[in-house]
Amino acid sequence: MTIYSTMPLELVYDGMNNQPGPYVSVTVGEVQLQIEAVSPGIGRIVRLLDGPLDAYLRPELSPGTLVAFGLPPS
């Protein structure tokens, strides 16, 4: 692979070997989501794993959105 860039190689390859954070699979209604934990009980949606086709068009389920997950409050 050849990379042509005016940027320094340190910036181009920065973070290349970093592994993504731990992902959690949760089900919200009939949609299964893969989320990355941001803080206890809050996660950022990484992708939709399974669900009806119209779920992919819902803005509240778009990647990058913060959602609450975990045990419901008692």
Q: How far is CA 17 from CA 12, 13, 14, 49, 68, in A?
A: 12, 8, 8, 25, 29
Asked, for residue 26, whether it belongs to a domain, the answer is yes
Asked, for residue 16, whether it belongs to a domain, the answer is no
Asked, for residue 37, whether it belongs to a domain, the answer is yes
Asked, for residue 74, whether it belongs to a domain, the answer is no
Q: pTM higher than 0.85, yes or no?
A: no
Range of the domain at 35: 21-68
Number of structural domains (the chain) is: 1
Segment 57-71, tens digit of pLDDT: 999 999 999 998 876
Asked, for residue 49, whether it belongs to a domain, the answer is yes
Asked, for residue 48, whether it belongs to a domain, the answer is yes
Asked, for residue 3, whether it belongs to a domain, the answer is no
Q: What is the mean pLDDT of each run of 10 residues along the chain (74 residues)?
A: 85 82 87 91 93 93 89 54
